[in-house]
Amino acid sequence: MSFEGLEVGYDIPAKPGMAVSDIATPALVIDLDALEANLRKMGAMAAGMGVALRPHGKMHKSADVARLQHDIGGASGICCQKVSEAEAFIRAGITDVLVTNQVRGAKVDRLARLPLLGAKVGVCVDDLASVAELAEAAARHGTELRVLVEIECGGGRCGVVDPADVVTIAKAVIDAPGLTFDGIQAYHGSLQHVQTYADRLKGFEAQIATVQAAIKALTEAGIACPTVTGAGSGSFEFEGRSGIYTELQCGSYAFMDVDYGRIEAEGGGRLDGDWRNALFVAATIISKTRPGLAVGDAGLKAMTTESGLPTVFGRSDVHAAGVSDEHSNLSDPTDSLKIGDRLRLIPGHCDPTCNLHDWYVAIRGDTVEALWPVTARGKSF
């Protein structure tokens, strides 16, 4: 990728080869050593559990990260949540994409065109009328869509509730030309963020009972269910070892964030003991006029706080006390911070934070190694 004509500090936050200390802040930074370690670890874990890995691209929205997940991290494809995201990934060369969401209305036509670009494309349904919409669009374009029935398994959002409806919808998919029934989508989003390991395990027991009821209903109706897919970075070991799930959709393991870092791992440690923090918002101190306080240049337009404040990586002497639109207030009780000092902030929630930025600055040690576009940034349609 050429960065000719792009200006550091306006178009892009850095150029490859620059010192990390010269990155224009605020910027979204990936520590490549940490990212690669996370990707390899998850690839090995999925392989060890005998399940496929289809990491969630909604988290990073980056074709470069997706390629690395494929090349070194054992991934067989990616997930995303929106048709425009799938388009962005496929246009950038990703060839196996599952939209883990309902696609309705005018977007169905866009989805059904995507296999024409050479990609294998999947989608979820939780409503009978959705099947006919997808089949019509697939027929219009002469394409094939892989379809999973999404079940409600505790997250309280989309998904079929009654196993009998799962069977009805699966049969409609099987009967529809252009659609292939591939199994069940069963993701429990809110379980990922349950604090204690014991409570997560308990939540998973209810989840797996729901999944088993759906599979039982399909089996009794003579319908094979090749794929059972779901799981996030807070629960994937449960799904992976269940003997029921065939595929994991974890996303945040690649980067980690403050919210996941708070969560208890098996054995009593924290999840950021198992996974390295690979994602940071680089910030610079721009004001220091009072004792105990320093003000940084990264605010709500550089990181989101709906899951809590950022933490300061590698520093125990300072911490984030508040974040406003363009500033972060840093509590600095020993007045160790001065104008121009740089900090690495771990964002509260990685997914919406990544979506704020146009570029990832991929660093190794003190050097910028690469600049990656946030391929699907803003693709929320």
Residue 378 in contact with a second copy, rule: CB under 8 A: yes
Number of neighbouring beta carbons within 10 Å of residue 71 = 11
Residue 305 in contact with a second copy, rule: CB under 8 A: yes
Give strand pairing partners of 294.
330
Give me 109's structure tokens: 């036509």
Residue nearer to a second copy on the CB measure, 31 or 150: 150
- From candidates 39, 75, 78, 83, binder to a second copy by CB under 8 A: 83
Binding-site size, a second copy (CB under 8 A): 69
> Phi-psi bin for 362: left (phi > 0), alpha (psi -120 to 50), beta?
beta
Residue nearer to a second copy on the CB measure, 51 or 83: 83
- From candidates 304, 318, 345, 361, binder to a second copy by CB under 8 A: 304
d(CA 274, CA 34): 12
- From candidates 18, 20, 25, 203, binder to a second copy by CB under 8 A: 25
Residue 137 in contact with a second copy, rule: CB under 8 A: no
Could you tell me the CA-to-CA distances from 152 to 6, 100, 189, 214, 224 in Å, in that order? 46, 13, 10, 10, 20
Give strand pairing partners of 146.
122, 180
Query: Smallest Cα–Cα separation from 128: which of 195, 176, 70?
Result: 176
- From candidates 15, 37, 41, 84, binder to a second copy by CB under 8 A: 84
Q: Which secondary-structure segment (H or E) carries 355?
A: none
Q: What is the DSSP letter of 7?
A: P
Residue 287 in contact with a second copy, rule: CB under 8 A: yes
Residue nearer to a second copy on the CB measure, 109 or 144: 109
Stretch of 32-40, 158-166, 210-218, 272-280 contacting a second copy, by CB under 8 A: 158-166
Number of neighbouring beta carbons within 10 Å of residue 3 = 14
Q: Minimum distance between the CB of residue 267 and a second copy, rounded to whole angstroms?
A: 29
- From candidates 6, 9, 47, 175, binder to a second copy by CB under 8 A: 9
Give strand pairing partners of 319.
331
Stretch of 38-46, 66-74, 180-188, 350-358 contacting a second copy, by CB under 8 A: 350-358
Q: Minimum distance between the CB of residue 245 and a second copy, rounded to whole angstroms?
A: 21
Number of neighbouring beta carbons within 10 Å of residue 103 = 24
Residue 136 in contact with a second copy, rule: CB under 8 A: no
- From candidates 60, 146, 200, 379, binder to a second copy by CB under 8 A: 379
Length of the chain: 381
Residue nearer to a second copy on the CB measure, 212 or 329: 329
Q: Which of residues 32-61 bind a second copy (CB under 8 A)?
A: 58
Residue nearer to a second copy on the CB measure, 39 or 282: 282
H-helix segments, the chain: 32-49, 57-60, 63-72, 83-91, 107-113, 128-141, 163-175, 197-220, 236-241, 258-261, 271-274, 350-354
Q: Minimum distance between the CB of residue 190 and a second copy, rounded to whole angstroms?
A: 8
Residue 344's SS3 state is strand
Binding mask 87-106 for a second copy (x = CB under 8 A): x-------------xxxxxx
Residue 160 in contact with a second copy, rule: CB under 8 A: yes
Residue 364 in contact with a second copy, rule: CB under 8 A: no
How does 235-247 read in b/e, with b if 16+ C-beta sit within 10 Å? Answer: bbbbbbebeebbb
Residues lying near a second copy in the complex (CB under 8 A): 9-10, 13, 22, 24-27, 58, 81-84, 87, 101-107, 110, 126-127, 129-130, 152, 156-161, 189, 284, 286-290, 293, 295, 298-302, 304-306, 323-327, 329, 339-340, 349, 351-352, 355-358, 378-381
